[in-house]
Amino acid sequence: MRIVILISGRGSNMQALLEAEYASAAPVQFVCVISNKAAAPGLQTAAAHGVPTEVLEHRQFPDRASFDAALAARIDAYQPDIVVLAGFMRVLTEDFVRHYANRLINVHPALLPAFPGLDTHARAIAAGVKLHGCTVHFVTPEVDAGPIIAQAAVPVLADDTPQTLAARVLRQEHRLFPQVISWLAQGRILMRENGTVEVRPGDRDVAADADVALVFPAR
């Protein structure tokens, strides 16, 4: 499975993807990392892992549509099966998203459909929820509203700050995102007719630890 990763910053989720182990029967190849910012630290990380990198500065384009068209052309040159948003801080146009329908995935730091958008950890604390977490989902034109593939939840502790909660959630992002890539490579992720996602059963993929309140699907 050929994968292009899009980043805007340090790319910690990208690094987790690059360093994960994948089943030899379902090989994964990261063919390029593309950033909309030349100074993104994640570009150096990708290069250190032997992955080709490119920069396409969005500020060099007159509007969002022209940037997205140029970005799609760059991506398509690598003929990817999947395009991964790993901290890519751009709202994508509807044409771009539809071009990669069911091939564009993202990780969001909340248990969608709760807390779409920004400042998810502070909002979760303010709302008094007892569980928070992350969601890997297919991207659709409506922001943070695509079909959910998998979620990991962590407890919200009484003394949590947005920073401590973010760190706990990020550890699960780094585990869940590679797991979803592995499932995709194995052909275990299916889109149902009703627009929801089914993950076919398999061996246990995500081991529980003290940080995890729930990981689903666990198999």
If DSSP codes are grouped into helix, strand and coil, which group holds residue 29?
A: strand
Residue 56 CA neighbour count, 13 Å, CB half: 19
Selected residue with higher pLDDT from 94 and 203: 94
* Predicted TM-score of the model (pTM): 0.91
**Chain segment 202-211, per-residue pLDDT in tens:** 755 444 444 4
The continuous run of DSSP H or E covering 97 comes out as helix 94-99
Alpha carbon distance 140, 142 (integer Å):
5
Residue 216: per-residue pLDDT? 57
Domains of the chain in start order, with CATH, are 1-100 (3.40.50.170), 109-135+144-219 (3.40.50.170)
In tens, the pLDDT along 111-155 reads 999 999 999 999 999 999 999 999 999 999 999 999 999 999 999
> Of the residues 49, 108, 137, 174, which is catalytic?
108
Percent of the chain residues topping a pLDDT of 70: 92
Between β-strands 148-155 and 197-199, what pairing exists: parallel, antiparallel or unpaired? Answer: unpaired
pLDDT at 210: 41
pLDDT at 23: 82
pLDDT-derived band at 212 (thresholds 50, 70, 90) equals very low
Residue 107 and residue 113: Cα distance in Å, rounded?
13
CA dist., res. 216 & res. 133, Å (int)? 11
Residue pair 186/219 in contact by the 8 Å Cβ criterion: no
Tens-digit pLDDT profile for residues 172-211: 999 999 999 999 999 999 999 999 999 998 755 444 444 4
Q: Which residues contact 177 (CB under 8 A, 6 or more apart)?
A: 13, 16, 17, 84, 86, 107, 136
Instruction: Clarify whether 108 is annotated catalytic.
Output: yes
pLDDT at residue 17, rounded to an integer = 98
